Amino acid sequence: MADRLTAIEVFVRIVEEGSLSAAGERLGLSRAAVSKHLVALEDRLGVRLLNRTTRRSSLTEAGSIFHERARHILAELAEAEREAGRSGARPTGRLRLNAPMTFGTMHLAPAIPAYCAAHPAVTVDMTLNDRLVDLVDEGFDLAVRIGRLDDSSLVARRLALCRFIACAAPSYLAQRGRPATPEELADHTCLGYSYAPDGDVWEFVGRDGPRRVRVSGPLRANNGEALAAAAAAGLGIVLSPTFIVSADLRAGRLVSILDDYTVAERGIFAVWPAGRHLSAKVRSFVDFLVERFGPTPYWDR
């Protein structure tokens, strides 16, 4: 096992340094020893990892795939050694975080300064987008996700509930009237979220069970803040998470409707790959978010 790990480290260093000789200098090995480790690794895998000339080396297709995995393995091993060597496991290093765009800008970005103040040895590298990223392949330590979790390869911890509410501007309701039942939404202007799992069908639950209605309107967007802004300007009715519209509701720019009906709640989760060593930086960040958002998040108080 030690020889295998050494060969993997030698291979990664060759790629990083650009040549066998430079890798040997970095590792304190002769060029012949570096070459021996590389050949042994290729023989064990049964594939050629590098195309080698007298002056330079380049990755083969198989080598490129193996290098990405090997780099993560060595990084995880180094992190595990650091953790094992420290009593108390102080959070350190770069924390790569992925999160949805709106939740990230509205609630994670304002929270991170407090975390960084409490853990000055951690650097947060946050990427915001609404696509479903592969945490392992793209090198993220953890992600914040909202909704149903279908990926069984991830470990999840709930941070808070995500409540939904139908609302509109007072000016819109004064002009078009306030719908009394979900079915009446079919005759109103509604603003649609592009990534909604049910498309243009909104579902509510009343005393007599679920009520589904197909809605339509002049605007669809893949960003909840944009829809809330359009609704506050009087364009139509929006069905939105409360973490987006709570400030508009408190300020009176939006007014809740259909208060006798509810919308199924979802969860806001921190997720990370199953089986991966949970580093102190990830654990501390997740604990920080749980304390900040749960059990009743501040936007719903």
- CA dist 213 and 203 (Å) reads 7
Closest C-alpha among 274, 290, 285 to residue 156 = 274
Residue pLDDT, tens place only, 17-48:
888 888 888 888 888 888 899 999 999 889 99
- CA dist 143 and 92 (Å) reads 18
Residue 187 gets which letter from DSSP? G
Residue listed under structure tokens 């002769």 = 30
Q: Is residue 99 located within the same domain as residue 226? A: no
pTM of the predicted protein model = 0.68
Give residue 1's pLDDT band: very low, low, confident or very high (50, 70, 90).
low
Domain holding 42: CATH number?
A: 1.10.10.10
Domain holding 220: CATH number?
A: 3.40.190.10
The residue-averaged pLDDT of 198-208 equals 90
Q: Is residue 275 located within the same domain as residue 249? A: no
Residue pLDDT, tens place only, 218-259:
999 999 999 999 999 999 999 999 999 999 999 999 999 999
The residue-averaged pLDDT of 187-199 equals 89
User: Domains in the chain: how many in total?
Assistant: 3
**Of 212 and 17, the one with more pLDDT:** 212
Expressed as residue numbers, the domain containing 63 is 2-84
Q: Is residue 206 located within the same domain as residue 234? A: yes
- CA dist 18 and 12 (Å) reads 10
**Of 172 and 31, the one with more pLDDT:** 172
Q: Is residue 27 located within the same domain as residue 44? A: yes
Model pLDDT, residue 5: 85
Model pLDDT, residue 295: 82
Q: Is residue 147 located within the same domain as residue 271? A: yes
Question: Is residue 272 domain-resident?
Answer: yes
**Of 260 and 153, the one with more pLDDT:** 260
Residue pLDDT, tens place only, 44-95:
889 998 887 666 678 888 888 998 888 888 887 877 666 665 545 688 999 9
Give residue 189's pLDDT band: very low, low, confident or very high (50, 70, 90).
very high
287, two tokens: 């604990």
Arithmetic mean of pLDDT over the chain: 89
Angle value at C-alpha 50, between 44 and 52, nearest 5 degrees: 125
HSE at residue 242, side-chain half, CA atoms within 13 A, is 22
Residue pLDDT, tens place only, 249-301:
999 999 999 999 999 888 999 999 876 667 889 999 999 999 999 788 999 98
Q: Is residue 41 located within the same domain as residue 110? A: no
Q: Is residue 204 located within the same domain as residue 127? A: no
Is the pLDDT at 106 greater than 90? The verdict is yes
Model pLDDT, residue 151: 65
Model pLDDT, residue 87: 42
Question: Is residue 45 domain-resident?
Answer: yes
Q: Is residue 47 located within the same domain as residue 106? A: no
Q: Is residue 37 located within the same domain as residue 69? A: yes
Question: CB 7: neighbour CB atoms within 10 A?
Answer: 22
